[in-house]
Structure 1
């Protein structure tokens, strides 16, 4: 069979695209194939052209993205470095300069006002003034804002540094942290105990306040939270519970010692009225007696009603100048000391005779 006979038997209607209405030629010069094989080849060529165009488009996109990646490379590297540096600061608390007027003392504060006076505090003021502020930050927790919208803070620890900056009119360098009451109390106590200048009495008052306010349900729970021995906590509480009259007998409550807690508590339990009466007598002395002397007198009061309380020190003056000092020792021992050069060795015999005459009059009742 010839080619013409074979072509005559082909069903062109079944070929792809033959049912569709053919598009009008772009121009009279375009030659369209007139045979089925020619149409099939033309369609294949069109499909290849479309794939080539799509491939070329993808190549252009890849080239564009590659160029963008090359341009963003340094920025991406800088971003990775910034993220690495930021990660190093994870968990770090904010430290800032804060106006001392924006900070209030905590109700858990365990510093007595006497800590804000005296030689040690004056030295701290000089150091703060020379440094232009506190080098070691205090710690505060945010408590909201005031009527003017300014942030307010509560002091966790660093009461002396805060007070020093306040008096000097300097902002205080502070570490800001979110803390609940228990966390505040624990951090305050541990920081102050680590400094070793917090008195036993101050600790006792602070622990008693924590128990009274319901911060801890018992002495045992308080001791556990602080990491302290229960006996130690008991002694500090005994000092913190001392009556105001007893505390007032000492020149400073910071002089009260741990080892005095049990004897003083026992004395008060045995003869409270007698101890309080003796404490009032001791409080009236000017200047007040040495701490050890006061302690012994208070303990004596419980068993013997106390002994006669003498001023611990009397200055003897002549023409306005001090010439001698009379002191009462811890056990009642009386000592007289003259200023240097006032009693030469040649007059010691004369002084001895005067003292014998004085003592003889005391024995005779004159």
Structure 2
């Protein structure tokens, strides 16, 4: 209910798409939305919407024990928590899921209607409601959050919206983006959510790809060699263990130049920044020298604030 309230009460609209905020009077969607309360909806009338937040729904290595348990629980005790839907803008009589996909799938498997709340929400409001509902459960893994953030941005939402939907800092969003960008989707999906693995392990995997220490084909080969029943945490750790066994090839320093005149050298034991005092770069080097203590302190504080939640 907190997610619904935040999306519908006192929130300024986010984004330009307001197509779902109001519907023509007399349409099935407008009538059902105006009824309020919890309603029973045929799962065949529900369409997908928005960025994917759960890797388990599409992963190659699906861990469906929780989904099976949910279906069994609903069969035995009934559906205790409603899902949130919004009327489909271009398909009168159908609805789009804002959150509760697993509950919908469970009800679909059981052949029963799903209990739902129906609200008219635009894309921005729906995204915030989806993010708040996820935050209240706190059961998305770090990698699922990375893919969720990636999907939000790829669908044209602003970074500010992603920050709100995930309730994270700018630093954490950058870390999530880095993992989603560097770890191939096929590898991430083959590993699975890895709920027991936090930020450090996924960042280590991303760094291995960035440094050329690992290829998509090699990672998939390692995963194929594991027993099929291996959990996603075991699968991720197997790849990291393989990296730890590597020889000197994997410990060679990497060099990158974020701007002209500045270079970053990264090794297994240290990170070194060099700024040349030459030409126009001298002014920047002098300024950086005067401000480096403050910049490091602020960066470290941002790192701590961004990693407290992720490291669990």
TM-score > 0.5 by shorter chain = yes
SS at match of 2:52: coil
How many Å separate the matches in 1 of 2:145 and 2:225? Answer: 27
* Normalised TM-score (structure 1): 0.50
Partner residue of 2:64?
118
Deviation at 1:211, TM superposition (A): 1.1
Task: Name stretches of at least 5 consecutive residues in structure 1 with no aligned partner.
Answer: 1-90, 307-366
Partner residue of 2:87?
142
Match of 1:100 among 36, 40, 43: 43
SS at match of 1:190: helix
Partner residue of 1:236?
176
Q: Who wins on radius of gyration, i.e. which is larger?
A: 1
1:169-214: CA deviations, max 9, x gaps?
A: 1111100001111111111122123212212212111111211221
Partner residue of 1:184?
126
Partner residue of 2:270?
none
Task: Name stretches of at least 5 consecutive residues in structure 2 with no aligned partner.
Answer: 1-33, 252-312
Q: Does 1:258 align with 2:199?
A: yes
Query: Would you say how many aligned residue pairs link Structure 1 and Structure 2?
Result: 208
Match of 1:195 among 130, 134, 137: 137
SS at match of 2:140: coil
Partner residue of 1:211?
153
How many Å separate the matches in 1 of 2:94 and 2:247? Answer: 50
Partner residue of 1:165?
107
SS at match of 2:94: strand
Change in Cα spacing, 1:295 to 1:257, as seen in structure 2 (3 Å) is farther
Change in Cα spacing, 1:303 to 1:104, as seen in structure 2 (3 Å) is farther
How many Å separate the matches in 1 of 2:247 and 2:155? Answer: 32
Change in Cα spacing, 1:213 to 1:298, as seen in structure 2 (3 Å) is farther
* RMSD of aligned Cα (Å): 3.0
Match of 1:267 among 180, 203, 208: 208
For the 8 Å contact 2:124–2:161, the answer to whether it is kept is: no
Q: Does 1:280 align with 2:217?
A: no
1:295-321: CA deviations, max 9, x gaps?
A: 232466696359xxxxxxxxxxxxxxx
SS at match of 1:156: strand
SS at match of 2:40: strand
Deviation at 1:129, TM superposition (A): 0.9
How many Å separate the matches in 1 of 2:88 and 2:190? Answer: 39
1:72-108: CA deviations, max 9, x gaps?
A: xxxxxxxxxxxxxxxxxxx994421111111112132
Q: Does 1:246 align with 2:187?
A: yes
How many Å separate the matches in 2 of 1:125 and 1:268? Answer: 38
Structure 1 stretches of 4+ moved >6 Å: none
How many Å separate the matches in 2 of 1:165 and 1:215? Answer: 30
Change in Cα spacing, 1:92 to 1:301, as seen in structure 2 (3 Å) is farther
How many Å separate the matches in 2 of 1:111 and 1:194? Answer: 15
